[in-house]
Amino acid sequence: MSYVEFQGISKQFGETLAVEDLDISIAQGEFFSLLGPSGCGKSTTLRMLAGFVTPTTGQIHVHGRDITRLPPEARDIGIVFQNYAIFPHMTVYDNIAFGLVERNMTKRDIRRKVEAALEQVGMSGYERRFERELSGGQKQRVALARVLVIEPEILLLDEPLSALDKKMREEMKFWIKEIQRSVGITTIYVTHDQSEALTMSDRIAVMEGGRVLQVGTPVEIYEYPASRFVAEFIGESNLLSGRVQEVTDGRCEIDLGPAAVPAQAPSGAPLSEGSEVALLIRPEMIRLHKVSEDEAPMLEGRIAEEVYQGSLRRYQVETAGQKLTVEVANRPDLPLRSAGEAVALYWNTESGVVVR
Amino acid sequence: MERHIPLPMLILAVLGFAFMLMPILVVVMAGLTAGEFLTFPPQGLSLRWVAAFLQSDKYLSSFFFSFRLAVMTMIVATILGTAAALFLSRTGMIGRGAMRAFFLSPVVLPGVVIGFALFAFFIATDMGISRTIWGLWIGHILYSTPYVIGTVGAALASYDTSLEEAARSLGASPWRAFRKVTLPNISQGIQAGSIFAFIVSFGQFEVSLFLSSPNSEPLPIAMYNSLRYQFEPSAAAAGIFAITLVTASVLLTNRLVNIRRLLERQQAGG
Ligand SMILES: Nc1ncnc2c1ncn2[C@@H]1O[C@H](COP(=O)(O)OP(=O)(O)OP(=O)(O)O)[C@@H](O)[C@H]1O
Ligand SMILES: [Mg+2]
């Protein structure tokens, strides 16, 4: 049963079609991410749900109720902005109390709730600070407390980590996810960072140019991308162009030019023989060996470049007229390869995914 | 770290300040003269013309007339100007650029034009306010509102609208969000605008020239009229009071703003 439902939502700003014919349904308690490059319409989608932007066409339902034309204050949806939007003329206490005051609660109840919220986000003792006296991470916590304290039906987060440094970002990623899980609140998270989306989400909608390209769990999105764009946007990818040669139940043969390799056929409409496709192989799925006669490799190639990256080594391998990226864990039992060396490339047939 | 200003720049800056302060210096010195006539440099120093100003019904009444007019103008110009600036910053209407230019046009439009236009309008429509404080009030509001639009517009340009959106989604109605979040954050611009409106109205000459009558004369008109007939230093003494009032109002508001900040800091500090 879907809790939040976008039905045929479009938004036009003058000439720009920011969001086009969007259909998404989100379950209660789900952590749902909108992922896509800058300008793809993520924020616009979020802002339509929050009530700051009115859709040009379509409806939004929450819990079966049509909220498309309700003003923001009537929606019971909390939002954390990219810049946190902490009220600079109020203390942390008054910021968090804001929504409670608007709900005409008694001073005692407000105090109790604000204190609990501060405790929840680990900011007890900061009641009397002002925004300018807080670090980025602290602002983030206050912004989240200010929203959670009113116990909204839905939590919206618009790139909440992008203003933080890398280390802080890693930390907050898990922290936000933990809070979300403990509160159990339906959450919609906007980001252009695929690793954030992959680690935090229950499901992800990948957007581009105002459209949703694919909706799925992180595993589905990463392992079975529905298009080249999704494959390239999520994680590192090798996309080899080829031609479908032979299709037998679940398996197919892709002709890459110098060689043909077996691959897993995609779900959905069956492949037609002779059609142009891409074969996706993630860099960590490829194993490098010495060229030998024992087992026929998928491809043979030559190391063009080697880059040391601490926990792993990354090789560029020239093969089938293209360059493949291969990542190998930096372990003593895995031999080093140097530029110019001839290598054999292996991967499991299931690791080669056909992308239309 | 100490900042070094290049010498030529420093000289230019000092010259600039001197140039700007010169008229004030001349007026103050001339008003403090011990002689019979308006001269510079003064012939000895005394407070006799200051005393003469304080005893002159004509000057004192026009001083207070100007003060009343400036306060009245300030109140209306602040409200109208703030509303107009908000409208201009929020509207997505086509032609808002043209509208902004139109609203700000009285700043570049000579006061003479506004004064004359209003005068002609009042006479032609026979409204009966052509030479009253009400007519003057309208003229001054027209003339000083753009200054408020300018300063409040600047404050709104640097105001982050997501603050207001945050307030709305936390449950505040549009009016409450404005009053509790937007207003406090643009109050500096509004205060600056209202000081401008006050000062501009207090010193206004051309608009007043068309719209005042002998029994409702703002100070600048009174000074001008008296100097046309007698070249006496009490006009300069009146100038001293005008300068003092304007300086005091600037310092006072400056102070008020800072005191508020100080209070905030103290609360924050615990
Ligand atoms: N208020 C607006 N007026 C006009 N155009 C807008 C407005 N808001 C967004 N757009 C346009 O709509 C498109 C989508 O914008 P949106 O802010 O939703 O993108 P986004 O995916 O959030 O991008 P980013 O990652 O950069 O935040 C962009 O082309 C943008 O220029
Ligand atoms: Mg955005």
Torsion of CA B24, B25, B31, B37, to 10 degrees: -110
Q: Are residues A68 and A202 in the same domain?
A: yes
**What confidence score (pLDDT) does residue B263 get?**
58
Q: Which residue has the tokens 């063009």?
A: A304
Let me know: does A190 contact A32? Beta carbons within 8 Å. Answer: no
* φ, ψ for residue A131, nearest 5 deg: -55, -45
A99 and A196 co-located in one domain: yes
Same domain, A223 and A351: no
Q: Ligand 2 mean position to A39 CA, how many Å?
A: 7
Cβ of B96 under 8 Å from any chain A Cβ?
A: no
Query: CB-CB: which of B169, B176, B267 is closest to A79?
Result: B169
Let me know whether A139 and A174 are in one domain. Answer: yes
- At A22, which helix (H) or strand (E)? strand A16-27
Alpha carbons A231 and A253: distance in angstroms, whole number: 20
pLDDT single digits (tens) A19-68: 999 999 999 999 999 999 999 999 999 999 999 999 999 999 999 999 99
Q: Which two tokens stand for residue B250?
A: 């600037």
- Residue identifier of the C-alpha nearest atom 24 of ligand 1: A38
Is A276 a residue whose pLDDT tops 90? no
**DSSP helix/strand/coil, A135:** coil
Burial classification of residue A177, based on how many CB atoms lie within 10 Å of its CB (0-12 exposed, 13-18 middle, 19 or more buried)? middle
Q: What confidence score (pLDDT) does residue A229 get?
A: 92
Q: What confidence category does residue A312 fall into, taking pLDDT thresholds of 50, 70 and 90? A: confident
Q: Tell me what pLDDT residue B174 has.
A: 93
Q: Check: CB of residue A300 under 8 Å from CB of residue A344.
A: yes
- DSSP string of A185-237, one letter each residue: -EEEEEES-HHHHHHH-SEEEEEETTEEEEEE-HHHHHHS-SSHHHHHHSS--
pLDDT for B15: 94
Do residue A223 and residue A242 come from a single domain? Answer: no
At A203, give phi and psi (nearest 5°).
-140, 160
A90 & A180 share domain: yes
A99 vs B163, B170, B264: nearest CB:
B170
Note the ipTM here.
0.84
B124 Cβ contact list (under 8 Å, min separation 6): none
Q: Assess whether A267 and A220 both reside in one domain.
A: no
Q: Is A224 in the same domain as A241? A: no
The answer to whether residues A214 and A80 belong to one domain is yes
Q: Does residue B173 sit in helix, strand or coil?
A: coil
Q: Which domain holds residue A255?
A: 237-355
Structure tokens, B263: 């209070």
Q: Which pairing describes strands A203-208 and A31-35: parallel, antiparallel, or unpaired?
A: parallel
Query: The dihedral of CA B120, B121, B126, B129: what is its sign?
Result: negative
Pick the residue whose CA is nearest to atom 28 on ligand 1. Answer: A39
Alpha-carbon gap, residue B78 to B192, rounded angstroms: 10
Helices (H), chain B: 7-31, 48-55, 57-90, 96-108, 111-125, 133-157, 162-169, 174-177, 183-203, 206-211, 219-229, 234-269
Confidence at residue A272, expressed as pLDDT on a 0 to 100 scale:
78
| Counted domains in chain A | 2
Task: Calculate how far, in angstroms, residue A41's C-alpha sits from the geometric centre of ligand 1.
Answer: 6
Cβ-nearest to A73 among B163, B172, B268: B172
Determine the pLDDT at residue B135: 87
Residues A23 and A169 in one domain: yes
> Contact, B148 vs B197, CB < 8 A?
yes
Q: Of A76-90, A301-315, B28-42, where does the model show the most confidence? A: A76-90
How is residue B182 annotated by DSSP? I
- For the segment A317-343, what is each residue's pLDDT rounded down to a tens digit? 988 778 889 998 888 887 788 888 888
Of the ranges A176-190, A210-224, A265-279, B183-197, which one carries the lowest mean pLDDT score?
A265-279
User: Which amino acid type is present at position B35?
Assistant: G
Whole-number average pLDDT of chain A = 90
pLDDT score at A341: 84
Domains (ranges, CATH) in chain B?
56-269 (1.10.3720.10)
Encoding tokens for residue A337?
Answer: 């390869």
Q: Which residue of B has its CA nearest to A70?
A: B169
Residues from chain A contacting residue B166 (CB–CB below 8 Å): 79, 81, 85, 87, 146
DSSP string of B153-170, one letter each residue: HHHHHTS-THHHHHHHHT
Q: What is the DSSP letter of A284?
A: G
CB A57 within 8 A of CB A8: yes
Domain boundary among A161, A196, A228: A228
Residue A250 in this model has a pLDDT that exceeds 80: no
Q: Which of A228, A262, A284 is the last residue of a domain?
A: A228
How far apart, in whole angstroms, are the C-alpha atoms of residue A203 and residue A189? 10
Among candidate residues A228, A247, A270, the one where a domain is terminated: A228
Q: Domain containing A338 — which CATH number?
A: 2.40.50.100
pLDDT < 50: residue spans in chain B: 268-270
The token pair that represents A78 in the structure block: 């909390």
Q: What pLDDT is attached to residue B68?
A: 92
Average pLDDT over residues A116-126: 92
Residue with the larger pLDDT of the pair A179 and B266: A179
Question: What whole-number distance in Å separates Cα of residue A226 and Cα of residue A221?
Answer: 8
Q: Give the torsion through C-alpha atoms of B38, B42, B43, B45, to 10 deg.
A: 110
End-to-end CA distance of chain B: 31
Whether residue B52 contacts residue B237, with contact meaning beta carbons closer than 8 Å, is answered with yes
